[in-house]
Amino acid sequence: MPDRKDIEAGGGLRVAIEEKTFLSADGVSVETIRGLAFEARAGAFTTLIGPSGCGKTTTLRLILGLDAEFRGTIARPTDDGRIAAVFQEPRLLPWRDVETNVRLALPKAMRTRDLAPLFETLGLAGMERRFPGELSLGLARRAALARAFALEPALLLLDEPFVSLDEETATRLRALLIEVWSARPTTALMVTHNLREAVELSDRIVFLSPRPARVRGIEDISTPRTERDRAWREATLARLDETYPGVL
């Protein structure tokens, strides 16, 4: 049985995965993660970035508790224990309207709360009674964000939430994400392969190696988001591309 522990982390997240392996279809053991350790500070936005197939999504699954077969420790926030996740696909119930999709994800005690301000901020006002099949992918992603933020989670996990969107739509959604998150900063961890996205959104970027995933380097970004103009972003991207060749 794997040596696994889930321990308390106050308001932050601490991950120390010694080993995670899969058994392939042909019975071969595949090591996905080895010696992966990092911290997502309380109330900060942390991003994991690395090549496709390196174990980023697997790491999120372990943090969520969807997979318990690993060696190591995961210390989650403990201020209220609620965890919200936004996946690559919106995963909305097709037979429920937008507002019902959001409310069903809430504990019963929170289901009568006023969601109008959240819908307004995310550009969903007037679309509460629409069904997922009536929404564009961009609007469906907004609904998924609303579902996560309505929970007021202690930990927010995002698995490439803007993948497959055109850049204009993705840019708008990134701005909305930060607007909603900044109104109630929670410990956030996002997985992406997009360095530009990570630079725009993050307080900390954790660079991962190819499989088996381990930390290649950590970059803290202290520049306020309001000062991250185009010149700053391009200079930062150039520096990180030089430090971590192949990421950009």
pLDDT value of residue 1: 35
Block residue for tokens 């579902």: 147
Residue 171: inside a domain: no
Return the C-alpha torsion angle 92, 95, 97, 100, nearest 10.
Answer: -80
Residue 30: inside a domain: yes
pLDDT value of residue 9: 46
Residue 117: inside a domain: no
**194-229 per-position pLDDT tens digit:** 999 999 999 999 999 998 999 999 999 999 999 999
Q: 110 CB contacts (<8 Å, ≥6 apart)?
A: 150, 151, 152
Query: Measured between alpha carbons, how far is residue 102 from residues 118, 123, 134, 223 in Å?
Result: 11, 15, 16, 34
CATH code of the domain in which 57 resides? 3.40.50.300
- Considering all CA atoms of the chain, what is the largest pairwise distance in Å, rounded to the nearest integer? 52
32 or 25, which is more confident: 32
Residue 139: inside a domain: no
Residue 183 structure tokens: 């109104």
- Are 161 and 91 a contacting pair, CB within 8 Å? no
Query: Alpha-carbon torsion 184, 124, 144, 110, what sign?
Result: positive
Phi, psi at residue 52, to the nearest 5°?
-60, 140
Residue 225 structure tokens: 């988001």
Q: How many folded domains does the chain comprise?
A: 1
Residue 221: inside a domain: yes
Domain that includes residue 220, residue range: 1-82+185-248
8 or 135, which is more confident: 135
Task: Measure the CA–CA gap between 13 and 199, rounded to whole angstroms.
Answer: 20
Task: Measure the CA–CA gap between 235 and 241, rounded to whole angstroms.
Answer: 10
Residue 31: inside a domain: yes
pLDDT (mean) for 109-116: 91
Task: Measure the CA–CA gap between 121 and 183, rounded to whole angstroms.
Answer: 11
pLDDT (mean) for 103-109: 91
Residue 49: inside a domain: yes
Return the percentage of the chain with pLDDT > 90, whole number: 68
Residue 239: inside a domain: yes
**52-75 per-position pLDDT tens digit:** 888 898 999 999 988 888 999 999
Query: The whole model's pTM is what?
Result: 0.89
- Are 213 and 59 a contacting pair, CB within 8 Å? yes
